């Protein structure tokens, strides 16, 4: 009787489900709605309210008064390099792990997951010690081969501590395990007949990867790159610890310092920066959304 009664009112059940989902969606959207309204409010405050003085001054202040352009540039450079490295290394590693039958494959896959399982704060002290030693060696090398005027600019790029190279390597190492799992699983769905056909045609390993596997792996690469981009873009702890120079600060640090003003919090500037901070992740998800469906829907079929 209960099943017959439930089946007799499908419209009522659907209406209730949609009502609950609408309430949850509205609850989750309130912070974003407040951030947008406050970002265009000339008298923004902590509380949600309709702006009386609509203005774009908060957005222009990010770039004309504060160091917003520098924060965006540093974030784009670092996160772009991290995403590219994760896609390249994850693609090559995922392909190798998918095709090899070595006994150590499964233990290795579980071992690299420890990088994701261990809390990042637990890694800060040993990681900082290792990178500090590497940074000392890099400083000695730069002083030996470069003029004095070029030393500081070179260390901003190649420094392991307070330099682009160090933070790029750290974020890449943190995002690579998930990318390897995603791409290894994706390549498992790609038939080995493609490799065998390319071998019969006399293709080298490089040609097989570039001409055969790369086009087939685009959905998996896009999914892995999207997760790496979003995670690296939102990472706050590692830039806070390993970046100290103002000219190398990234957007998370700029947003953090905007909240910790001496006298009072400028909510208009803070929310404008937050809205700008969200846009790249939303755009990246929109571009890679269809690839996510293909990747987790079963990959390549046939």
pTM (2 decimals)? 0.85
Does a structural domain hold residue 65?
A: yes
Q: Which of these three, 31, 55, 79, is where a domain ends? A: 55
| Per-residue pLDDT tens over the stretch 119-170 | 888 889 999 999 999 999 999 999 989 888 898 889 999 999 999 999 999 9
Residue partners of 66: CB distance under 8 A and separation at least 6: 254, 258, 269, 273
Per-residue confidence (pLDDT) for residue 158, from 0 to 100: 92
Judge whether 88 lies within some domain.
yes
Same-domain pairing of 170 and 257: yes
DSSP helix/strand/coil, 158: helix
- How many domains would you assign to the chain? 2
Q: Is 272 in a helix, a strand, or coil? A: helix
End-to-end CA distance of the chain: 45
In a domain, 115, yes or no: yes
Give pLDDT < 50 ranges for the chain. Answer: 1-3, 6, 298-302
Residues 115 and 258 in one domain: yes
Q: Which of 162, 158, 128 is nearest to 247 (CA)?
A: 162
- Examine the domain organization and report whether 86 and 234 are in the same domain: yes
Q: Whole-angstrom Cα distance, residue 122 to residue 133?
A: 19
The DSSP result for 62-116, as a single string, is HHHTSSHHHHHHHHHHHHHHHHHHHHHHHHHHHHHHHH---TTHHHHHHHHTHHH
d(CA 146, CA 258): 37
Residues 38 and 90 in one domain: no
The reply to whether 85 and 199 lie within a common domain is: yes
Q: Is residue 302 part of a domain?
A: no
pLDDT of residue 167: 95
Q: Are residues 148 and 28 in the same domain?
A: no
Distance between CA atoms of 214 and 38, rounded to whole angstroms? 45
Residues 104 and 215 in one domain: yes
Residue 270 forms part of a structural domain:
yes
Is 94 contained in some domain?
yes
What local confidence, expressed as pLDDT, does residue 2 receive? Answer: 47
Same domain, 26 and 128: no
Same domain, 258 and 137: yes
**Final residue belonging to a domain, choices 30, 55, 80:** 55
**Are 169 and 114 found together in one domain?**
yes
Could you tell me the CATH number of the domain that includes residue 102? 1.10.3720.10
**pLDDT computed for residue 299 by the predictor:** 43
Same domain, 111 and 49: no
Asked if the structure places residue 301 within a domain, the reply is: no
Q: Which of 9, 40, 55 is the last residue of a domain?
A: 55
* In-domain check, residue 212: yes
Domain extent at residue 12: 1-55
SS (H, E, C) 124-154: HHHHHHHHHHHHHHHHHHHHHHCCHHHHHHH
- List Cβ neighbours of 91 (8 Å cut-off, separation of 6 or more): 183, 214, 217, 220, 221, 224
Same domain, 46 and 88: no
How much is the pLDDT for 90?
A: 92
């Amino acid at each position: 009787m209960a099943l017959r009664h439930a089946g007799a009112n499908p419209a009522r059940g659907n209406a209730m489900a949609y009502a609950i989902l609408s309430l949850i969606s509205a609850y989750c959207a309130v912070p974003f709605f407040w951030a947008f309204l406050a970002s265009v409010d000339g008298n923004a405050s902590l509380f949600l309210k309709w702006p009386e003085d609509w203005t774009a001054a908060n957005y222009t202040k990010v770039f004309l008064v504060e160091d917003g352009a520098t924060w965006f540039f540093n974030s784009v450079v670092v996160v772009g390099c991290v995403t590219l490295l994760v896609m390249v290394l994850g693609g090559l590693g995922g392909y190798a792990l998918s095709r090899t039958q070595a006994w150590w494959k499964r233990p290795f896959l579980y071992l690299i997951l420890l990088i994701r399982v261990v809390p990042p704060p637990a890694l800060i002290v040993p990681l900082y010690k290792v990178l500090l030693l590497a940074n000392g060696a890099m400083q000695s090398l730069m002083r030996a081969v470069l003029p004095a005027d070029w030393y500081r600019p070179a260390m901003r790029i190649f420094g392991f501590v307070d330099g682009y190279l160090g933070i790029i390597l750290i974020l890449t190492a943190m995002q690579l395990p998930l990318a390897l799992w995603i791409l290894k699983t994706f390549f498992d769905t790609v038939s080995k007949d493609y490799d065998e056909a390319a071998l019969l045609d006399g293709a080298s390993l490089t040609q097989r990867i570039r001409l055969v596997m790369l086009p087939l792996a685009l959905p998996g690469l896009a999914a892995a790159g999207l997760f790496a981009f979003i995670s690296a873009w939102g990472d706050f702890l590692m830039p806070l610890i390993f970046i100290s120079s103002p000219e190398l600060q990234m957007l998370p640090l700029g947003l953090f310092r905007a909240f910790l003003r001496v006298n009072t919090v400028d909510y208009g500037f803070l929310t404008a920066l937050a809205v700008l901070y969200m846009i790249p992740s939303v755009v990246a998800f929109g571009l890679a959304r269809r690839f996510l469906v293909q990747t987790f829907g079963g990959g390549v079929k046939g």
